Structures are given as structure tokens and as C-alpha cells.
Structure 1
Amino acid sequence: MLVNQDTKISVIVPIYNVEKYVEECIHSILGQTYKNLEIILIDDGSTDSSGILCEQLEKKDARVILIRTTNKGVSAARNIGIKKASGKFILFVDSDDYLLKNSIENMAASSREVDLVVGAIIYRNDYKVFKRNQFFLNNQLKDETTEVMLIEEYLHCMSKNMTDPYFGAPYCKLFKASIIKDNGIYFEEGVAFAEDFCFNLKYLQYAERIGKVDLPVYVYRKNLCGSLSRVKYDYHYMTNRWKHLCHEYGKLYMKHSIEDCYEHVVKRAYRYVLNSLVGRERIERQEKILREFASVNLCLNCKENHKILNKEFSLLRSVKLWLLFYNLKCISENTLRIFYRIIQKSVYTLRKG
């Protein structure tokens, strides 16, 4: 494929203690068939050899710019990269992931007269188990042959797959730098959940046309260490983050007058919060957290907001058998969660019927 390479693309890579993977990541960018790149590496206070490896790569290729900073987190590192970027488009790459050889060329080929380009993802782990995300190849869009879609169509798909990295993650996407900078769109710093989703939602408020690449452009390496699982789950914090995420979704969907999609989002967010509580909190505590979630004006004065969530509360009332399980010490949390999900599935099946 021959693509005009006059347009500079800035690739932003936040780096923190990834000496095992960082060279593979950066070499995958340097080896792209699309050459007009500005590669911005932000070493976020690494304590391993990541910074030294980046220094060596900077000396070998003039396109590489290395910025060192104290450890402030991935969002702050990405924001530093945004401010430094001079390209027309911006691509985010995580330092333990990598690109396929023609990824940027394929995305650049779809970038004409669109505000965002999205490509497919390949998932892998250190045991080289691959799984391809083929969202656009699985009949989830009305017209699979369409290379460009309007924002409304994209948002309809997004509402049904709100936690899919294809929509929420900043990688696998080519952003217009002018939209980001002219509207002051940056990643939220100091938060531990949904900062990347919120960035995308803010960006989409200014996008009208989305280009899609039905080919893998990004290889995502799943974290096998389970570091997140070792962090104590703060239900109050996570519930507040879900509220904030729904608020951002609400602004976007109300702007385009597609309230039905927003209803999907609110219901799904509610269920994620509810699922996270089952077997981990007392019934009274669950009710309190869920009431707090429902009390927020998620839909920006939408009168249907409480009606939507009150319907969902009927599920909580339908499983009072939970109380029996709480009184039986031999029943594990996993058993309780499985029990709940069986009931949940049955209730929603009956509703659809």
C-alpha cells in the first residue's frame, strides 16, 4: 500500500519499569513502514534499566525524543507527551505492547477526512497465546464494507460494549492533535480507573467521522502478574469512578440526542457495580452503595434517569436468598457470586420474554 508520508505522526510512549519489553516496543515503532514519525518516550521515573535502554535508542535514531520525569503515573506521562507532540496525529502506545510493521501506514491510509481512526487489537501473553479482537468483523455494524462511519453509529456500538478496550483504551487509535490541543483534552491524573475511557469520551464530543481499519494494528500484552488483583478493592472509590464515567457518557450521548444508548450505558454500569459487591459486602452496605450510585444525576437532568435505575433495583430485591448464604459460613464468596449471577441471568431472561 502506497501512502503519502508528508504528514507527521507523533507516537507517545509512557515508560515505567518495563526493561523486559521496552526495546521490543520501541523497535516495533522504529521499524514501521510509515517513516514520518516523532517518537516521544516519557520515562516516568523508572528504577530499572528502562531509561538507559531508551537513551541508547535515542542516540541511534533522530526521530526519538526522550523525556525524563519523576514518577507521576501514566496519565501525567501521556499529558507530557501531548504537550510535546508536533505531529498532525497522535498515537498512544503502552511500553509493554507493540505494533505490527505496517500498523501506522494502515491507519494513516484511513485518516483522510475523519477525526479518529480505530484499528483491531491482538491480545497476547508471555506464553504467546493470541486472540484477535475483530469487533468490526463480527457483524456488529450495519455495513461491514463501510470504511468510515458517522459518530452516531460508532456511539451505538460503543454503548453495547462500553468496557471493550476497542472503544475505551487510548491505544489502537489515531487522534487528531488539533482536536486534543484546541479543546484542552488531557488524561485525568491521580486516578486509578477509567481515566483512559474518559479521555476518549471527551475527545468524541468533537468527532464527527470515524475511520476504521479492519486489520490488527496493535498487540496488547495482558498482565499475567495480576498486580491489580493484589490491590484492595475500594468499592466507594470505584462506585464514584463509575458515576463519573457515566456522567461523561451522558454528556456525549445527550449531545447527539441518542438517549436510548445512554440507557444501555447506565444499566451496564449499574450491573458492573452490583457484580463487584456480591459476596464482598453486607446486604445493607450493598444497598447503600447502590443508592449512592443511583442518586447521582447521571443523565444531566434527564428525567428518565431514576426510572432506569429503579427498574434495576428490582433485581436486588429479587435475590433476598442472599441472606441465607451470608449466615452459612461454609459457603465461599465465589459460590455466592455464582449463585447471584444465575439468578441475575434468569431475571433478565424473564424480563426479555
Structure 2
Amino acid sequence: MENIEISVIVPVYNVEYYIHNCVKSILNQTFKDFELLLIDDGSTDNSGKICDRYAKRYSTVKVFHKVNGGLSDARNYGMKLAKGKYFVFIDSDDFVELNYLEVLFNLVKKYNVQMACLNSVREYKSDFNLVGKYIDSNNIEGVIDKKKALKKMLIRDGFGVNAWAKIYSKKLFKDVEYPKGKLYEDLQTVPYLVAKCDKVAFSSLKLYHYVKRNNSILNRQLTNTDLTLISYLSILGEYLEKNFPDLIEAFEYRYVSDVLKVLINRAVFLENYHEVLERIFMQNVIFWKNANFNVFLSKREKIQIYVAKNFPRLYKNIIKIVIYSIKVKNNYKS
């Protein structure tokens, strides 16, 4: 298996109840010229043993056990061991349709590109019960240049910043690694990989199932580490201003909407909420001033920003009510 086409890299950490579904969906692919690398990132449950059993049964599967270093470290570890000409990343609690690899591989070959992507179905689960679903809306069939691809990514037009639902030429990762021990690792990697391409191919097929468990976004407490999102976005903004100045308005949309949804809306449960908000609004002030004129921001988002900036106590209470309502609704469904 020295000249294989695709290396499928799956970081594994404490997913004993989900790993079977993930691995089976990969092993049953219509496309056969691939290796499956299961990177056990120091699991403390039975995940590592389950991976070993698959490796004994299937020659396609290779298992590597390592000390826990996080998602980025596991991906980097897998890339160093991979023998394929192309990389595909799949999270260990997700699963893919049977023609997933075939469609991605055909895209890069048909259009002679180094990256291709398709749509995903995002499933939100409480325990093992489905409580919500979101389907990506990209309707492009074909290829676009990297500037248009970056714009689609920035304004969330059916092209996510996530590592999954994509295929990459191994050559793109020359001198590129996922940042070890950092949150928002895809934001620090994928846009720069797109910028290294001439073109990116797209398919509107919905073949990747992203599974989000236990409403973790709503439940996880905001920490100071989360606030590093601002610095990562700022670095991306500087890069785009230098290399793609036409995309600054699209980037400002991404900055404001990400900070609003990921940070501000989750900060409402902090005792120092007002202090955190002040810190957020004091950084990249011009983006917040421009928000009301940004063509990519919806009227609803502009109202949210206005209320959060000028009436923080009211905004805090509104978001608390919304989050509580979502939790009650999800608990009712489950």
C-alpha cells in the first residue's frame, strides 16, 4: 500500500459508543484505494482496543496509539505517517455516506485541483437522540477560483472552515500544520490552505454527517482561552488585507458574526460579563463601527450587535432566555 491515493485520518479520543459507526462507514466505501489511519490520542475508555480489533481484521486499517495531545496534534501525527497522495479528515463521532471518498476523489481528478469539498448534514444529539439538524446550502457543481472560495468561506455561503467534508492534496500541507493545543484549529489552517490553491472544486451532494453531542456549545463555559478566537481572527484579517484586500468586508462580517455567536452569546453566564464585553468591543473597534453598513450582516445580526453594545444587561437576559428555551425544547424532544 505504498502508492495509495487517499489517507483517511481519524483522530480518536474517548468515543467508544460512536467509533463503530464512523469506522464502518469508511470501510464500506465504494472507493477502495485508501488507507484508514486511526490515531488513538490517549483514550481512557475502550476506544483504543476497538481500533486494535479493526486493525487485526482489516488490512486497510492502521492504528497508532499516542499520548494525549489534542485534535490538532493527532491530525499532525497522522499526516506524518500517511502514505496517500490526498488527505481526508473525519472526526471519530461522525460518519460518511458510502460514496463519500469516490465523489471527493473524482472532483479533484475531474477539475485538476488540490482541494475539493461537498456538503454536510449537521446532526445535534442529546445522548443518542437526534434533537436538531442543519444541512449545508452550497449549490455549486464545479470549480471556482480561490478568491471566490475564500469569500464563500468568510460569509458562510455553503463552504465551511472545518477540516472535514473536504479532500486535500498532500502537497498543500508542506510547511503547514494544525496548531497544537489551540482552540479553533481549523480557522488557523483551512483558509490558508485554500489560499495556496488556484481553484477549489465543489459538489452539492450531502455526504458527510457531522454529529454534535450533548449540546456542548450551549453547555460549555466560556473561558479566557476562548477569547483567543479574537487574535486568530485578527491574524487572518491581516493576512487577507495584505493578499486579498477585496475580501475585507467579507472578513469583517466573519469577525463580527463569529465573535457575536461564539463569544458574546456564551459570555452571558459569566460573573464578569460586562468586563468581558468591554474587552471584546475594545478590540478591532472599526469592525464594530462598520457593522451597521456591512452588506453581509443580516438585519437581525445588526440589531443584536446594537443591543449588546448599548444595552448589555438587556441583551444578557434575552440570550439567557433563548438558551434556556432551546435546552427545554431539546430535553422535551429527547
> Displacement of 1:253 after TM fit?
5.5
* One-letter identity of the residue aligned with 1:28: S
Q: In 2, are the aligned partners of 1:242 and 1:269 still within 8 Å (CA)?
A: no
Q: Show structure 2 runs of 5+ residues with no match.
A: 293-301, 323-334
Q: In 2, are the aligned partners of 1:28 and 1:100 still within 8 Å (CA)?
A: yes
What are the within-5 Å matches in structure 2 for residues 8-157 of structure 1? 8-112=5-109, 113-124=112-123, 125=125, 126-128=128-130, 131=133, 133-137=135-139, 144=140, 146-157=141-152
Distance between the aligned counterparts of 1:81 and 1:189, measured in 2? 13
Q: TM-score, normalising length from structure 1?
A: 0.75
Question: Which residue is 2:198 aligned to?
Answer: 208
Identity among equivalent positions (%) equals 25
Does 2:211 align with 1:218? no
| Greater displacement, 201-210 / 255-264 | 255-264
* One-letter identity of the residue aligned with 2:199: R
* One-letter identity of the residue aligned with 2:6: I
Matched positions, count: 301
> Displacement of 1:189 after TM fit?
1.2
> Displacement of 1:123 after TM fit?
2.4
CA change 1:39–1:321 in 2 (3 A) is closer
| Helix, strand or coil at the partner of 1:62 | coil
CA deviation vs aligned residue, 1:17-38 (integer Å, no higher than 9, x gap): 1111112211111110100001
Q: In 1, are the aligned partners of 2:218 and 2:266 still within 8 Å (CA)?
A: no
CA change 1:285–1:178 in 2 (3 A) is closer
* One-letter identity of the residue aligned with 1:92: F
Question: Which residue is 1:342 aligned to?
Answer: none
Q: In 2, are the aligned partners of 1:253 and 1:262 still within 8 Å (CA)?
A: no
CA change 1:227–1:271 in 2 (3 A) is closer
Q: TM-score, normalising length from structure 2?
A: 0.79
> Displacement of 1:63 after TM fit?
1.5
Q: Show structure 1 runs of 5+ residues with no match.
A: 1-5, 138-143, 295-305, 326-331, 340-353
Q: In 2, are the aligned partners of 1:279 and 1:334 still within 8 Å (CA)?
A: no
Question: Which residue is 2:154 aligned to?
Answer: 159
> Displacement of 1:202 after TM fit?
2.3
* One-letter identity of the residue aligned with 1:160: I
Distance between the aligned counterparts of 1:173 and 1:136, measured in 2? 13
Distance between the aligned counterparts of 1:74 and 1:318, measured in 2? 33
* One-letter identity of the residue aligned with 1:334: N
> Displacement of 1:269 after TM fit?
4.0
CA change 1:161–1:254 in 2 (3 A) is farther
Question: Which residue is 1:288 aligned to?
Answer: 279
Distance between the aligned counterparts of 2:46 and 2:64, measured in 1? 15
Q: In 2, are the aligned partners of 1:100 and 1:217 still within 8 Å (CA)?
A: yes
Task: Give the CA RMSD over aligned residues.
Answer: 2.9
Distance between the aligned counterparts of 2:43 and 2:11, measured in 1? 10
* One-letter identity of the residue aligned with 1:246: S
| Helix, strand or coil at the partner of 1:48 | coil
